[in-house]
Structure 1
Amino acid sequence: MPDPHDCPGCAAPDLAFAAHDHAHCAHDALERAEALTAATGARMTPVRRRVLEILLEEHKALGAYDVLARLAQEGFGNQPPVAYRALEFLVEQGLAHRIQRLNAFTACVHPGEDHAPAFLICRTCHMVAEAEATAARASLDAEAAKAGFQVERSTIEALGLCPNCRGQA
């Protein structure tokens, strides 16, 4: 199986906003997703696969209705549950993330890996980079433990300007 880190533009937040061979990393991510779902016994249906392909097309977060519009154009159906079920499956399998700030979804650049992501969201173009936030999560866990609280899930989202949009400002 190809190493998902072979494409630094997709895996590294400092390069995700830069030009890179995105077709290569999208293809590798799709192959990895197929292997991961097969290994866990989950079923990658044609709709689920297509939704992941749509999310992998760009480093942008897409809303469920954006995904649904694409599916409907391609003959997969136009009822919201079609998109929502596929997106839910991808999130549950660790193949996509929900970006709360945008009420949207983005493909995971580290599928199958135990990681603590932080999302760098460009407020202008909505490009999203996934940064490693293990240190931030460890700090949060330590502070929570002082209060007797155990964190089960957290999402870190940072809003700002990507290098391209900063250059245009």
Structure 2
Amino acid sequence: MPQAARQHEHHDHCHDAAAFVGAVASACESRGLRLTPLRLRVLELIAAEEKPVKAYDLLDRLKDEHSGAAPPTVYRALDFLLEHRFIHKLESINAFVGCHHPNEAHQVPFLICDVCSSAVEICDERVSHLLNEQARERGFGARAQTLEVHGVCAECRAAAKPD
């Protein structure tokens, strides 16, 4: 497929927790990164969720398995996963989601539903390219992008319509 066509194609992602965890484990192995049992468990908990998950919810789940689990242990695991771009942090809702492309460095916007809290990763390079281009034109040295668009998803909109 030509580069121009690839840049503009849209991807819909289905939720496959096992495939996601496997892709991250493979990426860690190929990059020489250490995916400790705790990091793996935090990753599995994030992957199992259909929606973004907060750090303290992860901690509560970990405490069920490891009585000594504490906030610093969860945050260290999250920091590792974020640093290597295996997960995304949605700043506006202070929650974490798995990355659909853990083997690629990329910056993507999210559509976040204010009703059901779902978050959809928009995989379209044009958005980050446009933001980087606008920053460059203004002499701005961008280090990171986080674009979060809040609204109501199609399912919640349909559910709200009277029959």
Task: Report the TM-score, using the length of structure 1 for normalisation.
Answer: 0.82
Query: Secondary structure of the equivalent of 1:61?
Result: coil
CA RMSD of aligned residues (A): 1.5
AA of the residue aligned to 2:60: A
Matched with 1:151 is: 142
* 2:85–2:105 Cα contact (<8 Å) kept: no
- Distance, in Å, in 1 between the alignment partners of 2:145 and 2:124 is 11
- Distance, in Å, in 1 between the alignment partners of 2:49 and 2:27 is 21
Matched with 1:161 is: 152
1:150: how far off?
A: 2.1
- Distance, in Å, in 1 between the alignment partners of 2:106 and 2:137 is 23
- Select the structure of larger CA radius of gyration: 2
- Distance, in Å, in 1 between the alignment partners of 2:50 and 2:141 is 32
1:138: how far off?
A: 1.5
Query: Secondary structure of the equivalent of 2:92?
Result: helix
Over the matched positions of the two proteins, sequence identity in percent amounts to 37
* 2:87–2:98 Cα contact (<8 Å) kept: yes
Moved over 4 A (4+): none
* 2:52–2:119 Cα contact (<8 Å) kept: yes
Matched with 1:101 is: 92
* 1:47 and 2:24 correspond: no
Structure 1 unaligned blocks of 5 or more: 1-10
Relative to structure 1, the CA distance from residue 130 to residue 144 in structure 2 (aligned partners, 3 Å threshold; closer, same or farther) is same
Relative to structure 1, the CA distance from residue 76 to residue 103 in structure 2 (aligned partners, 3 Å threshold; closer, same or farther) is same
* 1:32 and 2:23 correspond: yes
Task: Report the TM-score, using the length of structure 2 for normalisation.
Answer: 0.85
- Distance, in Å, in 1 between the alignment partners of 2:65 and 2:80 is 20
- Choose from 114, 117, 120 the match for 1:123: 114
* 2:135–2:141 Cα contact (<8 Å) kept: yes
Matched with 2:4 is: none
* 1:56 and 2:47 correspond: yes
Matched with 1:4 is: none
* 2:42–2:58 Cα contact (<8 Å) kept: yes
- Distance, in Å, in 2 between the alignment partners of 1:91 and 1:77 is 23
Query: Secondary structure of the equivalent of 1:48?
Result: helix
* 1:37–1:43 Cα contact (<8 Å) kept: yes
1:54: how far off?
A: 0.8
* 1:118–1:130 Cα contact (<8 Å) kept: yes
Relative to structure 1, the CA distance from residue 59 to residue 117 in structure 2 (aligned partners, 3 Å threshold; closer, same or farther) is farther
Query: Secondary structure of the equivalent of 2:57?
Result: helix
- Distance, in Å, in 1 between the alignment partners of 2:151 and 2:78 is 25
- Distance, in Å, in 2 between the alignment partners of 1:76 and 1:48 is 16
- Distance, in Å, in 1 between the alignment partners of 2:71 and 2:83 is 18
- Distance, in Å, in 2 between the alignment partners of 1:30 and 1:63 is 19
